[in-house]
Structure formats: C-alpha cells, structure tokens
Structure 1
Amino acid sequence: MRNKIPVATGGAITATVFAPDKPRAVLVVHPATATPQGFYAAFAGYLAENGIATVTYDYRGTGLSGSPRDHRDLGMRDWIGVDAPAVAAWAAERFPGLPRLAVGHSLGGHVIALGAAGPDLAASVIVASHIAAVRTIPSRLERIRVRVMLHVLGPALGRLLGYVPASRLGLGEDLPATAMTEWGGWARMDNYFFDDPSMRAAERAATLTGPVLAVGTSDDPWSTPVQMDALTGHLTSANVERRTYTPAAGGVPMIGHHGLMRRPMRDRVWPELLAWLHAHAEKASR
C-alpha cells in the first residue's frame, strides 16, 4: 500500500508498506542513491511474509517522491537528515509498540551510521555501505569512470538541465542537481563526509547504539570490505558484526554492489539476515 508522508521543509515522500496480519516488528528500508523503492519490493515482501512490517520509500526528488527538477536544491544531507527520519517516525507511529528495525543500502547505510534512522532501534543492518571516496575504488578504470560521472558530466548536466539524467549515465534514477554536486564533493575528500565539518559525521556516528550487522560482498567494485570497515569503525558506541559474502556463497557468478538485495539471494542470504533481525527484535520485545 502506498502512502504520502509530508515533510516539514516541503514536499512529500512516497512510501510503500508491506505488512503481515500480525507483525512482530517494523522495519524501514533506506535506499541507495538513485535506486527506486521498487528495487527492494522482493526483499520487503520476503520480510513481511516472515512477520516484519516493512516500509520502502524514495527520497524526495527521486522515483515516486517527485521530479528531480522540482527538487533541484535538495542535497544528500537533506535525504539523510530530513527524509529518512521522517519515514522512520511515520513507520513508528503506524506500527506503535513494535520493535523498530532498519536496513540501509549504500547511502541508506550512511543514514543508519549517522544516527538518522530513528531512535531506539532494536537492530540495524548496513548493506554495501562504505567510505565512498573515489580514491578508495580499487580499479583504476572504475575510478576514472566514476570521476567523469561525479565530477564532470553529472555537475555539468545538473547546471544545464536543473537535474541530472542519471538513468542515461548508467547511475540509476535521475537525481536533483544539488544531490549530485554534494555527492561529487564528498567523493573528492579522503574520508568522504567525515571530512566535511558541516556534517558532524564522526560525532553523529558515535551516537548510534545497539546491534549493527554490516554486510558486503567480496566482488563489490566500490564498497570493499576494507572501506566498509572504515565506515563502521566510526560506530564507536554500537556493537558491530561484519559479514562478507562471496558469489560462491550466494550461488551466483557475481553479486556486486546491489546484488545482496536482489531476488537470487532469497534462499542463500536473506534467511540469515531475517534470523538476525528476528533474534534482536525478540530481545527488544521482552
């Protein structure tokens, strides 16, 4: 079921609820950059089938939450600091009294790491999220490609069109111009937004408490295990568990940056995530 969640600073977020008859917990999936909420529908449906009410959504200016041109002045900090907390608060009100959970993919993992996924989380899972500086990309060719997209083509098209046609650049959904500019700016910094004083990232990351499961893959071209550890190393008040999946473990030739959220992982990886979430939700409900 789709819902409109108003945002105090203007506009609204479109969210979809996957709810079992008698949910045991409520979970919000915080999406990756330029990744529509429909991408997470199979995963959300799987969680709902197993007793977890699950909410997916699009950040404002992406997907079903408004055109990027109409939201050209929105940056990633707005998605992290305004949109994600608004959805988390709405989900908690919609399902009162249930343990609160979160899954964050890539940028969505930054939402969790910066303490923006809501208070009193029973547990959270960070998927393929890392210190996203371009310098950390292992492949030289991939570093060049990403630099061209983030630092040349994306910003130029944003200035020209008022939005970035990321779908035509192979980056997923179209994006607001400011979001692309901010993304590119952070990607130039050695430690991503941790080097941006206005984000207070280290301070915010230290406020996250409770259990965190950080999962990635051995063949992710961007979020390498080392860079995932660089991100979770800032979660000094949380109990962090790390897992790295290989394509062989997933029963597929490759997984990459988005693969853990794809349907082929339903029988190999998702049961492990579900069991971990259920265990911590049950502890929180005692």
Structure 2
Amino acid sequence: MHIRFPATDGFELAGTLYGNPETARAAVLIAPAMGVPQSYYTEFARWLAGLGHVVLSFDYRGIAASRPQAHARSLRGFEADIHTWAEKDAAGALHWLRTQVSPERPLHWVGHSLGGQIFGLLPNRHLVDRAVTVASGSGYWRENAPKLKRMVWWMWYVLVPVTLPLAGYFPGRRLKKVGDLPHGVMAQWRRWCLSPQYMMGEGGPTLQQRYAELRTPILSLSFTDDEFMSQRNIESLHGFYANAPKSMKRIAPSDVGMKRLGHFGFFRPQCEPSLWIEIDHWLRPSPLT
C-alpha cells in the first residue's frame, strides 16, 4: 500500500507499507542506501511481510517518490543534508510506524549502506529493538575497496567540486553516478568520505558519544566481493557503535552458492533461501548468538 507520511518537520514523504498491521508479530523499517529508491527493496519487503512482519519502506526527501514536483527536473535550491535524512526523514518514518501502525509490537531497523550508517543519528533510535546493517561501512575513501578507490579520487577531488556549484545539486542521473542528490547531501557526504573518521570527523566527540550510547543489538552482514566497502570500512563504522551488542558476519558468494553479491546483491530475490533467512532469524525473539 502506497502511503504519504510526515517527516518530523512536516515534509511529506512517500512510503510503501507491506503486510497486515493487525496480525503482524513485529514491524520493520527499511532505510535505503544513498540515492537508492525504496522500490529496490520491494521483493525483500514482501518476503518479510509474508513471514508475519509489517514493513515500511520509504524515500528520503528529494529521492524518487519523495522528490517534489517543483523539483522534478532539477534539485537546484532543494535543501537537505544527510542529517536531514536521518533526524527528520528516517526518524519521522520510525515515529509513524510506531504510532500509526505498531504501537506495541517489536520494532526493527534494516539499513542498507547509508541506512546502517545513520542509525546512530536518529533522536528516536531507542524505539528500535533490533537492527540489521547490510553492506554498511565507513565511506572513508582511502579504506574503500580497491576497485572503488581508483574512481573516488576523481569523484571527490574533481567531479563533485566542479558539478555542485555549476548545477546547484549533484546531477547523478546525467552523470550515471549514484543518482540526483541535493547539494547539501552530496557536499556533506564528500566531507565525510575525505575524513579518516568519516562522519565523526565532522561530528566530533558529541556525535561519538551519541553512537557509543546506543545499546540496540546489531547484526552486520557484509560481503567479500563488495565493490564499495572493504572489511576495514565495515569494521570502522561498527566501531562507532562501541557499546552495542554486535554479530558481525562477512559472507563470500561461494559460501551461499552464488557467483556475485557485491554492494547491492543481497536484496535480489535469489538471496531468499540463503541470506534473507539470516535476517528473519535475527529478528525473531531469541537469545543473542
């Protein structure tokens, strides 16, 4: 069911609700990767709903169905940064799911890439019972996977500094990179990716403390053939969640009978019998393993 709901500042966001709230045993919020529309997670969300979860996916403001008609052709002048996406959009989605759909059942978080990075930024993260991060790591470019490292120098030091002031946003659709992103999002992401401490380089001790205070159990799923995130990227990010109980699983495609997983492959239907079940097991009430 396609829905509209407010971010915490009232901005209208687009989402899709899967499953039956009246019979669901738990609720799950899917937080997308950078520039990835919620539609990418449709099959995974339907699968979770079929197992008895009620699932909400959504688009951050400026992305896909949450892109205002007035900015259909260009995001020039559209104001948002990653903190906006986390503290207003994702927090608004979490609040709506808790208050309007599942006020008493367990509430879980599944974050893909950026969606796993921003969990600690949410002011209402305490609402989440369990979290899953998929291919989520620090974006510090010198720790990126070798294939990406060869490209990101050009992106961060040439392409983005040139295109942002010229276009007023990042015209990723035309450049065939990431997708269109608001100026503030791309500018902040660049600052983070150039810092060895990633987001902590900008956020400092205050942000470090926010992440360290989080106690939500986290399952991290990462992949040996991820073309973006190295093992060091994965470890760096989850080090920010210093005091959260963590189960870290690094998976090679051959471990699950597949030729390729990469940064995006987990959410393809072929992963249902071998990998999706990992998340269902994690979200079921059971002792931590």
- Give the TM-score, by structure 2 length: 0.90
2:263 aligned residue: 257
2:27 aligned partner: 26
Contact conserved, 1:28 with 1:56, CA < 8 A, in 2?
yes
Tell me what 2:98 maps to: 92
1:120-131 alignment runs, 5 A limit: 120-131=127-138
SS of 1:64's equivalent in the other structure is helix
5 Å-filtered alignment, 1:47-126, equals 47-66=48-67, 67=71, 69=75, 72-93=78-99, 94-116=101-123, 118-126=125-133
Q: Which residue is equivalent to 2:197?
A: 191
Q: Which letter does structure 2 place at the counterpart of 1:95?
A: S
- Distance, in Å, in 1 between the alignment partners of 2:137 and 2:84 is 19
AA in 1 matched with 2:106: P
1:214 corresponds to which residue?
Answer: 220
CA contact (8 A) 2:8 2:91 kept: no
- Asked whether 1:6 is paired with 2:6, we answer yes
Could you say which residue in structure 2 is the equivalent of 1:133? 140
Q: Give the TM-score taking structure 1 as reference length.
A: 0.91
Q: Give per-residue Cα distances to partners, 1:96-123, cap 9 Å, x unaligned.
A: 1110100011110012244556323211
Residues 56-108 of structure 1, C-alpha deviations (whole Å, 9 max, x = no match): 00100111101461663211121122111110000001221110100011110
The range that moved more, 217-226 or 108-117, is 108-117
In 1, the alpha carbon distance for the partners of 2:103 and 2:42 equals 23
What is the alpha-carbon distance in structure 2 between the residues aligned to residue 254 and residue 44 of structure 1? 21
Residues 198-224 of structure 1: per-residue CA shift (max 9 Å, x gap):
683311111211311011001112222
Letter in 2 for 1:248: S
1:35 match:
36
Identity of aligned residues (%): 28
User: Distance between the aligned counterparts of 1:258 and 1:116, measured in 2?
Assistant: 28
Deviates more, 1:208-217 or 1:146-155: 146-155
8 Å CA contact 2:135, 2:263 repeated in 1: yes
Unaligned runs of 5+ in 2: none
Which residue number corresponds to residue 240 of structure 1?
A: 246
Please tell me whether the aligned partners of residues 113 and 232 of structure 1 are also in contact (alpha carbons under 8 angstroms). Answer: no
**In the alignment, which of 160, 164, 167 is matched to residue 158 of structure 1?**
164
CA distance, structure 1, for counterparts of residue 158 and residue 78 of structure 2:
18
CA distance in structure 1 between the aligned counterparts of 2:23 and 2:277, rounded to whole angstroms: 20
Give the Cα–Cα distance (whole angstroms) in 2 for the partners of residues 5 and 71 of structure 1: 23
| Pairing 1:167–2:173 present | yes
The more displaced of 24-33 and 156-165 is: 156-165
Distance of aligned partners of 1:199 and 1:264 in 2 relative to their CA distance in 1, 3 Å threshold: farther
Distance in structure 2 (CA, Å) of the matches to 1:32 and 1:116 = 20
Partner of residue 284, structure 2: 278
* Pairs aligned (count): 281
Which deviates more, 164-173 or 51-60? 164-173
Paired AA for residue 243 in structure 1:
K
SS of corresponding position for 2:266: helix
Please report how far the alpha carbon of residue 15 of structure 1 lies from its aligned counterpart in structure 2 after TM superposition: 0.9
Contact 1:115 1:207 in 2 (8 A): no
Contact 2:81 2:184 in 1 (8 A): yes
Residue by residue, what CA displacement relative to the aligned partner does 1:128-147 show, whole Å, maximum 9, x if unpaired? 111110111241x5323123
Q: Which moved more, 1:167-176 or 1:261-270?
A: 167-176
* Aligned residue identity for 1:131: S
Q: Tell me, yes or no, if the aligned pair for 2:7 and 2:91 is still in contact at 8 Å.
A: no
Q: 1:166 to 1:116 in 2, by over 3 A?
A: farther
Tell me the CA shift for residue 226 of structure 1: 2.4
Distance 1:155 1:17, change over 3 A: farther
CA contact (8 A) 2:19 2:53 kept: yes
Is the 1:208–1:238 Cα contact (8 Å) retained in structure 2? yes
Cα deviation 1:252-285 (Å, max 9, x = unaligned): 21111111122211111001211111235x99xx
